[in-house]
Amino acid sequence: MTASLTGRTVAVLATGGVEEVELVEPRTALEQAGATTRLLSLSPGQIQAMNRDVHPAGRHDVDLVVGDAQVGDFDALVLPGGTTNPDQLRQDAHAVTFVRDFVSSGKPVGVICHGPWTLVEADVVRGRTLTSYPSVRTDIRNAGGTVVDEEVVVDRNLVSSRNPGDLPAFCDKLVEVFAAAST
């Protein structure tokens, strides 16, 4: 039986430069399981997604500015990667506070590829085990986290994966963990 996310609302926090497949595939998997997803970003309008960081892909409508978002309005959070997306997010005080508060709430958070940069900035990887894109691993270790090279890793409320090649396992695990979380 497929896990149901009916009645759950998932925040997806991203900005321009987000890796297209890391934005679209998790959203699709969550919505197919019954969740409502809302795209949060740094400003209203649209964000420009990319393929492999340099090739423009789709444009996506922003549902809510992260500075206006409340953790209590969401059941889970997804942080997609791409190199410029998390680099911009980690420089925004509203985004960092939202991520810190979300992780601290105990609600589930999915993060892939370069996405953990925002977790590092929010100081929430200390004592946690996760995976990421190779270039982010030193930052995780320096922030007190443990890094493993696995397709998908679950540590308490954090679900992490390394890269777009891990998306099938990542999406399946997001649905499973998000469905099992208490609302």
Q: Which residues are catalytic?
A: 113
Torsion over CA: 183, 95, 84, 117 (sign): negative
Please state the φ and ψ torsions of residue 30, each to the nearest 5 degrees: -65, -40
Say if residues 162 and 111 touch (Cβ distance below 8 Å): no
Find where tokens 């998306």 sit: 167
Task: Tell how far CA 6 is from the center of its chain.
Answer: 20
DSSP 53: T
Residue 61 CB neighbours (<10 A): 10
DSSP 174: H
Dihedral angle of Cα 86, 91, 124, 158, to the nearest 10 degrees: -20
Please state the φ and ψ torsions of residue 163, each to the nearest 5 degrees: -165, 175
H or E element, residue 10: strand 9-13
